[in-house]
Structure 1
Amino acid sequence: MSDMHNVPATLLLVDDEPGILSSLNRLLRPAGYTIFTARNGREALAILEQNPVDLVLSDMRMPEMDGAKFLEQVRTNWPGTVRLLLTGYADIASTIDAINRGEIYRYIAKPWDDNDLKLIVRDALESSRLRRENARLLALTQAQNDELRDFNSQLEEKVRQRTAEIEQINSFLNLANERLKQNFLLSIKVFSGLLELRGSHIAGHSRRIAEQARQLAQHMQLDPKTAQDVFCAGLLHDIGKIGFPDGMLQKPPSRLTGEEYAHYRRHTVTGEMALMPLEELKEVGHIVRSHHERFDGQGFPDTLEGEAIPLGARILAVINDYDGLLHGALADKRIPPEQARTMLLNARGKRYDPAIVDAFIDMLSVEVKEVVPEKIIPYLDLQIGMVLARDLENREGMLLLAAGRALDVNLIRHIQTYMRREQHPPAVYIRTDKQTATNTESRTATPSDDEQKGSSPCPA
């Protein structure tokens, strides 16, 4: 069909009276329309077969084929062509029949008013143009919606694929990061164990302090970062003593000479300086430096007082002295637990933070340690996937493997090689809980889960 805004509309005028066709032609041609004329329905249909027509204006009463039948065929074969009926008879039944069968846009009575007829033709063509434009826009919208739907579907698939790739990359990065953290933790444990090689009476001291300090931080419901820092500081709190002479390490502080005691008071600063290059242990270094400060301000090295002392250092002060009393590190003899607790209570507000002493005493009174199902396994019977229930240490208390470590083929080979060299090899405690049994069944000779998952540098 023609677009009125681009090319002139094409009209087909059909009437069996030449005078009426001539009158209609003269009336409508000045508007710029392209006009065809036909004297009957047969001629009109032939014209429609050969030419695109925008509007048909047909008389009602014609020989051979009346206007109703003709317009019905136009509707059937050229539904987009606008249909107008011109009638000179007051035949309501015929007009209604034409309207129903031909679905005409309007009917015009003879004689017509020229202006009315021109307006009717113009309005009919404009209405047809608007319908075509609306249909075009609807089709365009539908096509664009289809394209958008296809694009969204493709985009969702690309996003899904990209998300899966990112998740896989993140998984690899997390695995690598956890391995680094695990190795970092093992390095800290080995580092803290170096000092314990210097004297058997301090074997296991740092690990006991670290574990109990972490338990107290959790009992006090401190945030995980604080518990983590306290645990690390417990492992490393005596690292500044690494340069002490052997004889000095064997003495409790009360038996040190003046020169030795002055040296002893500097070990917290030395410990902080040793940890300073490691950014991850910055806060741990502050705790190590201050764990011999006193709540009343009489401690060292900075004579800090009250809450000016880092919280982790106040926790370590209580835990460190309690362990020292129990194992004879602060005096010439071991102190029973009840007496050690009384000594802590007597020093509330002086040497120790009262709130931390109270929390520690409360923790000791309600503490229920997890019972890990375990059994001793001969080192020659170790299998891939078994998990250590306890730290594996040598006779001097040096950490060989940490509790919770899953055994792979390489670790088993190293353990068995070490055990064969020892006259009195240490016992190997293996977990026997269901989770471990399941892991054992599904293991192959690959790196252990601990090596794959790792942990934070000093997990809380």
Structure 2
Amino acid sequence: MTPATTTDAPEPLVELPPLPPQPAPTVLMVDDEPSVLSALRRLFRPQGYKILQANSGAEGLELLRANAVDVVISDMRMPEMDGARFLELACKHDAGIARILLTGYADIAATIAAINHGAIHRYIAKPWDDQELLVVVKEALDRRQLERRNVELTELVGTQNEQLRDVNRTLESRVEARTSELQQVNGMLEASYEELDSTFMVAVTVFSALLEMRETNTGHSRRVADLARNTAKRLGLSDREVRDVYLASLVHDVGKIGFPDSMMGKPLSMYTPEETMRYRRHPVDGETALMPLSQLQGAARIVRQHHERFDGKGFPEGLSGLEISIGARIVAPASDLDALMHGGLGSSKIKIDQARQMLQGGIDTRYERRVVEALLEVLAEAEAAAKADVQIEAHALRPGMVLARDLMSSQGAILLAVGYVFDERIIKQISDFSRREGVQLKLHVRQDSLQPHPSTAGPRPSKDHL
């Protein structure tokens, strides 16, 4: 799966616009005395303001409805509608208009009432001071402009916030989509890696079985691998180290592949001097064969050292103690133990108790003490588990049952490895083979798996059982 590539960029946020050119402020003057209106007009005309004038409150309200007014200057004493009432109605029309009341000292009570009603911003006593009135109007216009700008900026910020929310929603959606894609890709890669790794492990297992087809002690590498892996786990090695130990055990005798037939299956005690020299070279030959494979380089080092001895009298380099890798210190006693019990080191097999004693006798000379002790604990657990195995015929197999011992062919090749979980497909193949060949196959299964567990059934063994 190829993740989709998104090149769409979020739209840029709205930038703060420069202040637009403003029209000339409009000032409305209301007074019933024409002389007062003329004086105000003369005062404010040089300021560049647009001047509107009304002779009454009613006329002033008409002008307010027809024009956008910024400042209203109204006299207090007017017939029909006084300035306080007019400014109150102007406030209801547009609360943003700056309202200035011109009043005399005799009108102070009405002025206070107007202020208390919130109908005016400032009042100017008559006769007014021209400069004071100009400053008051200028301040009122500036405040009016700031209020308008504040409204514009508030609307702009609201627009930007909404855009930010849209951008965030879009980004979140894209992140979720990309995360989902990456998770799918990672899942596919993990599944592919697991499949490749599983295939690799199966290939090494098959290769190990092919190597042993020339020997009489078939199944040796597989048994050593199980013992060594469980010993490595008991000693607390990392997953990588356990894996290297397991792989090295499966192929620890790969250097023997070039041995002549006369040496194959022959006990070590019966080797000629020339055969012994060739035998002592096989760990190095095995390492050389494995080094080109990057996944087996850790195992290759173990293969080279698995005939070294703890006292330094081994081969090929005479390493001693902790100079020997921990993997080689584990594989060595595990290999010797299996060889003793299956006739690989002598002309005949020996019993497990005697093999155990011989292994203990090699502590601190051939083997490291803690490794032997862990190995013997693993062996004891394996014996106990074997006693709990149940032998059944092929026709009695059910999905979910777990193979307790390797299923071997008549030539000694492993057909199914211990730990295999049976499913309907493989059960049918075994039953067909048994019926076709006319043989009565008996298999050892784990007693705790006699009750089938469909959720665990499947054609693929776990990695620990490969």
Bucket of the pairwise TM-score, normalised by the shorter protein = 0.7 to 0.9
Corresponding residue for residue 56 of structure 2: 40
Distance 2:386 2:101 in 1: 101
2:96 corresponds to 1:80 = yes
User: Once structures 1 and 2 are overlaid, which stretch shifts more, 174-183 or 99-108?
Assistant: 99-108
1:174 is the counterpart of 2:184: no
Query: Structure 1 residue 28: deviation in Å?
Result: 1.8
Equivalent runs, 1:45-444 vs 2, <5 Å = 45-101=61-117, 103-200=119-216, 202-361=217-376, 378-380=393-395, 387-407=402-422, 410-429=425-444, 437-439=452-454
Amino acid at match of 1:18: P
State the secondary structure of the residue aligned to 1:145. helix
* Deviation at residue 159 of structure 1 after TM alignment: 1.8
- Kindly provide the amino acid, as one letter, of the partner of residue 313 in structure 1: A
Residue 460 of structure 2 corresponds to residue 450 of structure 1: yes
The 1:331/1:370 distance shift into structure 2, 3 A limit, reads closer
Q: CA RMSD in A?
A: 3.0
Deviates more, 1:136-145 or 1:341-350: 341-350
Distance of 1:438 and 1:93 partners within structure 2? 98
Does structure 1 conserve the Cα–Cα contact (< 8 Å) formed by 2:28 and 2:71?
A: yes
Amino acid at match of 1:206: S
CA distance in 2, matches of 1:406, 1:187: 19
- Structure-2 separation of matches of 1:351 and 1:120: 108
Equivalent residues of 2:77, 2:83 under 8 A apart = yes
Task: Using the TM superposition, give the Cα deviation of residue 340 of structure 1 relative to its aligned residue in structure 2, in angstroms.
Answer: 3.1
CA contact (8 A) 1:189 1:399 kept: no
Work out which structure has the larger RCO, using CA pairs closer than 8 Å and 6 or more positions apart in sequence: 1
- What SS does the aligned partner of 1:249 have? coil
Deviates more, 1:265-274 or 1:412-421: 412-421
Distance 1:385 1:320, change over 3 A: closer
- Distance (whole Å) between structure 2 residues aligned to residue 435 and residue 22 of structure 1: 114
TM normalised by structure 2 equals: 0.86
Which deviates further from its counterpart, 117-126 or 384-393?
384-393
Distance in 1, matches of 2:392 and 2:120, equals 101
CA, structure 1 residues 180+432, in 2 after alignment: closer, same or farther (shift >3 Å)?
A: farther
Deviation at 1:281? 0.6
* Partner of residue 26, structure 1: 42
Structure 1 partner of 2:3? none
How far is 1:206 from its partner?
A: 1.0
Unaligned runs of at least 5 residues, structure 1:
none
2:225 alignment partner AA? A
1:56 Cα shift?
0.9
Separation in structure 2 between the aligned mates of residue 434 and residue 55 of structure 1, nearest angstrom = 95
- CA distance change for structure 1 residues 345 and 455 in 2, over 3 Å: closer, same or farther? closer
User: For the residues of structure 2 that align with 1:437 and 1:363, how far apart are their CA atoms?
Assistant: 27
Shift of 1:449: 6.4
TM-score (norm 1): 0.87
The one-character-per-residue Cα deviations of 1:390-439 (angstroms, maximum 9, x if unpaired) are 43322333112234444556544543443334443532455675797342
Counterpart CA distance in 2 for 1:33 and 1:373 is 108
**Greater Cα shift, 96-105 or 10-19:** 96-105
- Report the alpha carbon displacement of residue 94 of structure 1 after superposing the two structures with TM: 1.6
Percentage of identical aligned residues: 46
- 8 Å CA contact retained: 2:386, 2:404: no
Give the letter for the 1:83 counterpart: R
Instruction: Number of aligned residue pairs: give it.
Output: 448
Letter in 2 for 1:62: M
Paired residue type of 1:54: D
Kindly provide the CA deviation profile for residues 171-226 of structure 1, in whole angstroms up to 9, marking residues without a partner as x. Answer: 222222111111111111111111332334x1221111111111111111111111
8 A Cα contact 2:401 2:446, kept in partner: yes
Q: Report the alpha carbon displacement of residue 301 of structure 1 after superposing the two structures with TM.
A: 1.8
Residue 14 and residue 387 in structure 1: after superposition, are their counterparts in 2 closer, same or farther (change >3 A)? Answer: farther
Q: 1:413 to 1:368 in 2, by over 3 A?
A: closer
Contact 2:70/2:141, CA 8 A, preserved across alignment: yes
Contact 1:14-1:59 within 8 A present in 2 as well: yes
Shift of 1:5: 6.2
Quick one: structure 1 residues 416 and 84, their matched pair in 2 at CA, closer, same or farther if it must change by over 3 Å?
A: same
Cα 1:371–1:5 change in 2 (3 A) is farther
CA distance in 2, matches of 1:159, 1:215: 44
Q: Would the alpha carbon gap of residues 11 and 356 (structure 1) be closer, same or farther in structure 2, given more than 3 Å must change?
A: same
